[in-house]
């Protein structure tokens, strides 16, 4: 497909290409910027800060302990099961410095999910927040994990505050179920011992694995996407190229509410802003909206990333509209479709455009993004990142003409090496260097791409294709709707009909007058008949992934 976006729509100060080999590895990148920005604050959490210099010292102490005490060597798999706390970047960069492959783990995993990921990855050691250590205890004997590092939420907050936080979490709120991991070593002990050990630098190349990032699970067990150091370097450079004209090196503070163990925040927030000398404000529990808004009020934040549900939640949170947005330069939505009502309200409340990005775990993750100078929301996923090719193909892999919807295939230096120990699954998705995304999209005359929907989420009503995103966006236009999801349910006449789940806003002192009839009448005004929902189900809230994506499959 001709790259018409480069000539027609790319901002003049965004490069058409990046150098995926700018750094030989993430370790070279780390060493460079901890030197340049040594006195800058790298991460903030619960009022505690760690500078680039301190991060360098602590990450190398962590790496030395992994090497000297645990005996881990280059290529070993190391699991990190920690929420957004200062411990996460220390463990992350420590493991990378030691030449290990990081296996990011969602702390909310069930025993079954955790067992699968640790066994599949072959992780030899894990660092875990003690709140979920009881889950690990249940399955650890069935996994290759031999060494456990335990941490508590307040471990890096300083002696007084840290002990207070840990006491409240454990004794008052009782958020740490009983567990027994007798051989585990404490995080702070690791750092104090590691500082007395010598760290041995490891020779790491771009083709070495940086991450096994697990994804999928909707059609079977989750799979580990093999992301190399080169994949990650390429994607952080691509991300930086798309947003750099908006930003000032050494002067940015980005709000990181999405978990760093998720590929979106890992690349877009942690790694990209690291090369800008930025500060990541880590939000440990963004679902506590009052506390989240209170934390935002303390800082002159310049950027924020999130998913549609996060932005929607903030817009509906008390006190958010009263915050100072005068320093905010960039808001970036990804992970799921940004809905027009949310984007337009965000613009009105904050005075900042809500840009939309698109990516996949298998692409480290960014594939495309709205140009930074886009004046208003246009409902597309923007333009391909530098050094990224996109094709729209039919079911036989044949290119389709402009404007026609088909499966989107992606090629670029950010595309994964394959799925770990899954040559069959790799062969299904990687085709001569092209990654078949499973997303249905089309390109317009200016090179902007629009996702119509996921192949597997498509609803077919009497032979007509119905895309849930369109239904959801229409329902979300109604004032009292908080969030919504559309699915197809079997029907003896039409094959399938549309069912919509709706969660309504709970506003103080007001009674919501939205009912089934109001939603259907509204849809009839905005959709052709076969797309109009036939069933409406109201729920208090909709099921979501750990980063806020609504789980249509669970609703099915």
pLDDT tens for 396-438 read 999 999 999 999 999 999 999 999 999 999 999 999 999 999 9
Mean pLDDT over all residues of the chain? 94
Residue 216 lies in a domain: no
Boundary (domain end) residue, out of 417, 432, 454: 454
Instruction: Give residue-wise pLDDT tens across range 345-355.
Output: 999 999 999 99
> Does residue 224 sit within a domain?
no
* Position 221 in a domain: no
Q: Are residues 350 and 254 in the same domain?
A: yes
Q: In terms of domains, do 52 and 196 share one?
A: yes
pTM of the complete model? 0.90
Same domain, 463 and 317: no
Residue at a domain's end among 428, 454, 480: 454
* Assigned domain for 213 exists: no
Residue 176's pLDDT band (cuts 50, 70, 90): very high
Q: How many domains are contained in the chain?
A: 3
Asked whether residue 210 is domain-assigned, the answer is: no
Mark whether 442 and 474 lie in a shared domain.
no
Judge whether 379 lies within some domain. yes
* Beta-strand relationship, 41-45 and 383-384: unpaired
Whether residue 545 lies inside any domain: the answer is yes
Same domain, 242 and 159: no
With CA atoms as reference, report the closest residue to 36 among 19, 14, 51. Answer: 51
Do 448 and 524 have their domain in common?
no
Do 462 and 445 sit in the same domain of this protein? Answer: no
Cα 365 to Cα 396: distance, rounded to the nearest angstrom: 26
Domain shared by 378 and 508, yes or no: no
Sign of the CA dihedral with 530 first, then 535, 540, and 545 last:
negative
Tell the burial category of 238 from Cβ atoms under 10 Å away from its Cβ (0-12, 13-18, 19+): buried
Assign residue 197 a region (left: φ > 0; alpha: ψ between -120 and 50; beta: otherwise).
Answer: beta
| Average confidence (pLDDT) over 5-29 | 98
| Residue 188 shares a structural domain with residue 256 | no
Residues 180 and 315 placed together within one structural domain of the fold:
no
| Mean pLDDT computed over 358-363 | 95
Domain assignment of residue 220, yes or no:
no
Residues 466 and 418 in one domain: no
Find the CATH number of the domain harbouring 533.
3.30.300.30
The residue segments making up the domain with residue 484 are: 458-555
**419, 454, 489 - which closes a domain:** 454
Q: Cβ(153)–Cβ(284) under 8 Å? A: yes
The Cα 334–Cα 548 span in angstroms is 11
Q: Are residues 395 and 262 in the same domain?
A: yes
Q: What is the CATH number of the domain that holds 40?
A: 3.40.50.980
Q: What is the pLDDT of residue 512?
A: 65
């Amino acid at each position: 497909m001709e790259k018409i976006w480069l000539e027609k729509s790319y901002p003049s100060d965004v490069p058409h290409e990046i150098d995926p080999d700018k750094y030989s590895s993430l370790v070279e990148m780390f060493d460079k910027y901890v030197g340049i920005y040594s006195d800058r604050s790298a991460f903030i959490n619960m009022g505690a800060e760690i500078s680039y210099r301190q991060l360098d010292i602590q990450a190398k102490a962590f790496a030395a302990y992994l090497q000297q005490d645990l005996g881990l060597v280059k290529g070993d798999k190391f699991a990190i099961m920690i929420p957004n706390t200062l411990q996460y970047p220390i463990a992350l960069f420590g493991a990378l410095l030691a030449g290990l492959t990081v296996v990011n783990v969602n702390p909310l995993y069930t025993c079954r999910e955790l067992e699968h990921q640790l066994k599949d990855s072959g992780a030899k050691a894990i660092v875990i927040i003690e709140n979920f250590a009881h889950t690990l205890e249940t399955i650890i004997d069935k996994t290759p994990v031999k060494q456990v590092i335990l941490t508590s939420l307040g471990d890096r907050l300083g002696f007084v505050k840290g002990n207070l936080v840990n006491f409240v979490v454990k004794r008052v709120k009782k958020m740490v179920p009983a567990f027994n991991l007798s051989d585990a070593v404490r995080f702070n002990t690791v750092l104090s011992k590691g500082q007395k050990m010598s760290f041995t630098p490891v020779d790491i190349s771009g083709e070495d694995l940086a991450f096994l990032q697990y994804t999928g699970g909707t059609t079977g067990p989750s799979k580990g996407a093999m992301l190399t150091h080169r994949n990650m370097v390429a994607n952080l450079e691509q991300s930086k190229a798309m947003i750099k004209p908006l930003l000032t090196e050494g002067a940015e503070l980005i709000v990181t509410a999405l978990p760093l163990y998720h590929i979106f925040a890992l690349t877009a927030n942690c790694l990209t802003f690291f090369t800008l000398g930025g500060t990541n404000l880590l939000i440990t529990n963004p679902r506590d909206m009052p506390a989240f808004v209170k934390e935002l009020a303390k800082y002159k934040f310049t950027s924020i990333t999130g998913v549609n549900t996060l932005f929607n939640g903030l817009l509906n949170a008390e006190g958010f509209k009263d915050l100072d947005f005068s320093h905010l330069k960039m808001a970036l939505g990804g992970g799921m479709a940004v809905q027009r009502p949310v984007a337009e309200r965000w613009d009105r409340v904050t005075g900042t455009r809500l840009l939309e990005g698109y990516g996949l775990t298998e692409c480290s993750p960014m594939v495309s993004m709205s140009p930074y100078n886009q004046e208003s929301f246009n409902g597309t996923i923007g333009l391909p990142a530098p050094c990224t090719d996109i094709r729209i193909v039919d079911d036989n892999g044949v290119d389709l003409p402009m404007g026609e919807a088909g499966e989107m295939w992606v090629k670029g230096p950010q595309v994964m090496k394959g799925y770990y120990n899954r040559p069959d699954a790799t062969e299904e998705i990687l085709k001569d260097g092209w990654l078949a995304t499973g997303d249905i999209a089309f390109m317009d005359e200016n090179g902007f791409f629009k996702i119509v929907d996921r192949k597997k989420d498509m609803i077919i009503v009497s032979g007509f294709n119905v895309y849930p995103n369109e239904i959801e966006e229409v329902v979300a236009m109604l004032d009292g709707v908080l969030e919504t999801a559309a699915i197809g349910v079997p029907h003896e006449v039409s094959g399938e009909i549309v069912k919509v789940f709706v969660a309504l806003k709970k506003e103080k002192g007001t009674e919501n007058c939205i009912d089934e009839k109001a939603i259907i009448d509204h849809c009839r005004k905005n959709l052709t008949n076969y797309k109009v929902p036939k069933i409406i189900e109201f729920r208090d809230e909709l099921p979501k992934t750990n980063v806020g994506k609504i789980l249509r499959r669970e609703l099915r």
